[in-house]
Chains A and B, each alone.
Chain A
């Protein structure tokens, strides 16, 4: 016998039609990016527009590499460095502070935690004009420090780790460590950090994607000679907007690593986002 809830949520063929259409709309622009990046430039004029990939990717991407003004490789390397450093730092500082807020007792804990939650709501654009001036003072204009150091911590990271630590780590475990004579830092390193691993992985993936895709601040503070990947793409698209296949080849190379990460870890990423939504 079918239960009431099953009858209720019966999936008709129309459900699938709608979902398949939605999936197609989501994927098509990416497919289109691949098509244009693998076709020669004149394919753009085809009527109807080209629908199948070609064989000119090497040609197109070769033009990106030869293009001195785009600094694409510099941008790619810079993005890898910045995203990796920030990701590691956000996970470490987030888990350290999250552990303290979840499991340690200290004066001012609640008010400090509240202040972190409030700061999650502040838009980043609020601070970029004076930050720009500060970077000049520090001598960090056009330096990777400018796009790395300010982002080594995030309120979201602390909050997420705190939520996870609260439910995933029992007080007994920490007390047992204390009885064994372990210092607080040893407890963090040997007991807490391994237990936080699932949440740390999700936080790391989200942070990496956010940094890889970040635009406004790197655009404001880096020069076209020393860009991140996204900044390099923007300058390429301004200057070579008639050479679509070159711009699209660069865009595809900049996008596919994240798509790959998403194919491998999409389940965890989606799980993390959906869990976070229910809790907040």
Chain B
């Protein structure tokens, strides 16, 4: 082994000496080095500025107006926001969004945690197959998911009602009740996103140093104990990432409930499953005359996302102590 100490590793080509003459030390060359970086980042900032950043600030500006998209607008300060607070449809959409969010995020993350822990076994066979199979729903478009599950949750010949009938439960009209429509929509979200979250959590688990487990095993800690004492605490940053991603997605839920309602932007006859994003769409785009109010809903959604993310952040940090 002593040989390796004297054998230098193959070294990369030595860096060119600073004194090497530049063949083109011209003005053009200096301009290139100094200014071309700005040219390279310009496309991003230009398009992003015009089509994302500017509209976003304009959303706020619009929300301070009584704004008709194809007509007049008058400045009304924060009246749209005070109106939101006493708007029962807004609260209804808020409750629906959080209800579906809870029904999708909580079981989904528990299941993802469980599956990631299974996929993390070193001796597992057919790893790639299982990873791909679990992830494949995420490749399917939301519209397609909503169409297929809309059928599975059909009242008269849907698969779920048939399964229930085999255990003696009467057919459920999934679209006509609050809890059942929430369940159906949450199922679509769970189906599409569990695999994605599983892989993110798995990536986090694989980044945990293996010797921690070996040390724990030598001390005689059971697998279950190791999961609680090592995996979960070490996984905290990844878990926070997944929760915040789910929050951003969950608060913007739109396509699944829209297609489940057959395109009705109010989501069910009694607004049983109208989400915040659908309400924003209803006020801001479906009815162009209330665009200012729709813009206020958009900012409300943004604020809620920030608030929920902050709460999650604090919760995860507190659990660290």
Taking Cβ atoms with an 8 Å cutoff, the residues of A that contact B are: 3-11, 15, 18-19, 22-23, 25-27, 29-30, 32-33, 36, 44-49, 93-94, 96-97, 99-101, 104-106, 109, 112, 116, 119, 121-134, 136, 149-153, 155, 158, 170, 172, 175-176, 178-181, 183-185, 188, 209, 212-213, 215-216, 220, 230, 233-235, 237-238, 241, 244, 247-248, 251, 254-255, 258-259, 261-263, 266-267, 269-270, 273-275, 277-278, 280
In the complex the two chains form, what is the Cα distance from A198 to B44 in whole Å? 21
In the complex the two chains form, what is the Cα distance from A184 to B32 in whole Å? 7
A24 nearest in chain B by CB position: B133
B199 touches A125 (CB 8 A): no
Identify which of A96, A127, A130 contacts B40 (C-beta below 8 A): A96
Chain B residues with CB under 8 A of A274? 199-200, 202-203
Chain A residues with CB under 8 A of B202? 274
A237 touches B259 (CB 8 A): yes
Query: What is the size category of the interface that chain B forms with chain A?
Result: 35 or more
Majority-rule SS of B interface residues = helix
A113 nearest in chain B by CB position: B41
Would you list 27 pairs from A and B whose C-beta atoms are within 8 A, ordered by A residue? A4-B213, A30-B148, A49-B159, A96-B40, A96-B41, A97-B43, A119-B52, A123-B301, A128-B284, A131-B55, A134-B55, A151-B51, A153-B44, A172-B12, A172-B16, A176-B16, A215-B255, A233-B144, A241-B262, A248-B147, A251-B148, A255-B140, A266-B132, A269-B135, A273-B203, A277-B199, A278-B203
B141 touches A230 (CB 8 A): yes
Q: In chain B, residues 212-269, which have Cβ atoms closer than 8 Å to a Cβ of chain A?
A: 213-214, 217-218, 223, 226, 238, 241, 248, 251-252, 254-255, 258-259, 262-263
Identify which of B54, B131, B294 contacts A129 (C-beta below 8 A): B294
Taking Cβ atoms with an 8 Å cutoff, the residues of B that contact A are: 12-13, 15-16, 20, 22-24, 29, 32-34, 36-38, 40-41, 43-45, 47-48, 51-56, 58-59, 62, 69-70, 114-115, 118-125, 128-137, 139-152, 157, 159, 162, 191, 195-196, 199-200, 202-204, 206-207, 210, 213-214, 217-218, 223, 226, 238, 241, 248, 251-252, 254-255, 258-259, 262-263, 277, 280-281, 284-285, 291, 294-295, 298-299, 301-302, 305
